[in-house]
A = this chain, B = another copy of it.
Amino acid sequence: MKTTLRRRASRASGRRQVWAPIFAALGDETRLLLVAKLCGAEPRSIAQLTEGSKLTRQAITKHLRVLESAGIVHGMRRGRENLFALDPEPIQELKGYLDLVAEQWDQALARLKAFVEE
């Protein structure tokens, strides 16, 4: 199980350039709103996603492209409309990464505490 931990840790450190774009994609209020809207399992068209927003359709489109190239979302053309749906895997992976960070932090604290108390 030490092996498991080490494997997880090395994956965590090695893939920073993978997660950075995912975090970045989520680092925008408009895009978080889009993700929230797409949490309903039915895919939504760009027009639907634009509706109610103060932004232009093209602005929304750009945001969707950002989310898409981060792998958080994918669009599929159907007829004249482009339906977007959530891709939950990156979210899960991100949670795993945060778990790891928190875990390492906790371990460091525990070691520190042990050192001080000893």
A91–B86 CB distance below 8 A: no
Closest-CB distance, A52 to chain B (whole angstroms): 14
- A20-B28 contact given A88-B105, A101-B91, A102-B91, CB 8 Å threshold: yes
B41–A109 CB distance below 8 A: yes
In the assembled complex, the Cα of A61 lies from the Cα of B91 at a distance in Å of 29
The count of chain A contact residues (Cβ–Cβ below 8 Å) is: 39
In the assembled complex, the Cα of A98 lies from the Cα of B92 at a distance in Å of 8
22 of the cross-chain contacts (CB-CB < 8 Å) are A12-B36, A13-B36, A16-B29, A19-B26, A20-B26, A20-B32, A22-B27, A23-B23, A23-B27, A24-B28, A25-B27, A27-B27, A36-B101, A36-B104, A39-B104, A40-B108, A41-B105, A41-B109, A41-B112, A92-B102, A94-B98, A95-B98
